[in-house]
Amino acid sequence: MSDDDKQRRVWDRHARGYDRQMAFIERRFLRDTRAWICRQASGDTLEVAIGTGRNLPYYPDGVRITGVELSPRMLEIAGQRAAELGREVDLRLGTAHRLDFADATFDTVVCTLSLCAIPDDHRAVEEMVRVLRPNGLLLLADHVVGATRPVRAVQRLIELVSVPAAGEHFRRRPIHDVAEAGLHIEKRQRFAAGVIERLAARKPAFRRSGADPSCDAKTPVDQYRQGLA
C-alpha cells in the first residue's frame, strides 16, 4: 500500500468527525488563521488538501477556487459546504505529491494544516511552487516545530504515536522548503509557543538562472538564513 493510500484511509475514517475536532483546535490555537490566509488570495486559486472545505467561507468574492483532496469522504463534505455557501468550486480528487495541473496555472496556492500529514512534504511544496504563476502568492499555515526545547520534547513524544497511527508530524518547518525554492517571504507570523506558523511567499517574476550574477541583492534563501524574511 502506498503512502497516499494509507493517508486516504486515515482521512476517510476521520472525515465525519473532522469539523467537530477542528472547531475546538481553532478556538484554542489558530486565532484568525483561516481568514488571514484566505483574504490574501486572488485570481485563480488552488487549495491543496482542501479537506472538508473549512476555508471556503473566508475567500473573497471573485476568487476562482480549485480544491484538491486525497480523501473522497472529505471531498464530499467540501462539496456540501460549497453548495451551502453558494460558491462555485472545482473540487478534484488528487494527491499533493503530483498535482494534475500544468506549470504556472494559478495566481495563488493555499495549503492549511495539511503539510504536517502529507507523507513527502518537500515534494508537495515543490509541486505547489511549480503550478504557481510567476509573481504568484503561496499561502501556508500549519503546526510546526516549537520555539523552545520543552515544547519540542513534548512534540517528539507525541510523534511516537501520531506518525505511526496517522502520519501526522509535529516538528516540520515548511518555511525552509519555501525559502529554498526561491520564493520571497513577504509575511510570516508565528505564535502559540511557536507551534503555529503562517506565511505568505511570492514567486519571483523572473527565472533565477537568468538573473544577473553581478547583482548585489540577496536571494530569499540568504534573507531567510539571516533572519530577514
CA angle 189/98/47 to nearest 5° reads 40
3-204, CATH topology level: Rossmann fold (3.40.50)
**Confidence (pTM):** 0.90
Confidence grade of residue 212 (pLDDT, cut at 50, 70, 90): very low
CB 136 within 8 A of CB 107: yes
105 class by beta-carbon count within 10 Å (0-12 exposed, 13-18 middle, 19+ buried): middle
Confidence grade of residue 24 (pLDDT, cut at 50, 70, 90): confident
User: In the prediction, which pLDDT does 207 show?
Assistant: 57
Higher pLDDT, 209 or 32: 32
Enumerate the domain spans of the chain.
Answer: 3-204
Closest CA to 47 of 94, 12, 9: 94
List pLDDT tens digits, range 70-118: 999 999 999 999 999 999 999 999 999 999 999 999 999 999 999 999 9
Long-range residue pairs from 65-68, CB within 8 A, at least 24 positions apart, any chain: 65/89, 65/90, 66/90, 66/91, 66/92, 66/106, 67/91, 67/92, 68/92, 68/93, 68/94, 68/95, 68/96, 68/99, 68/100
What's the average model confidence in pLDDT over 1-24? 92
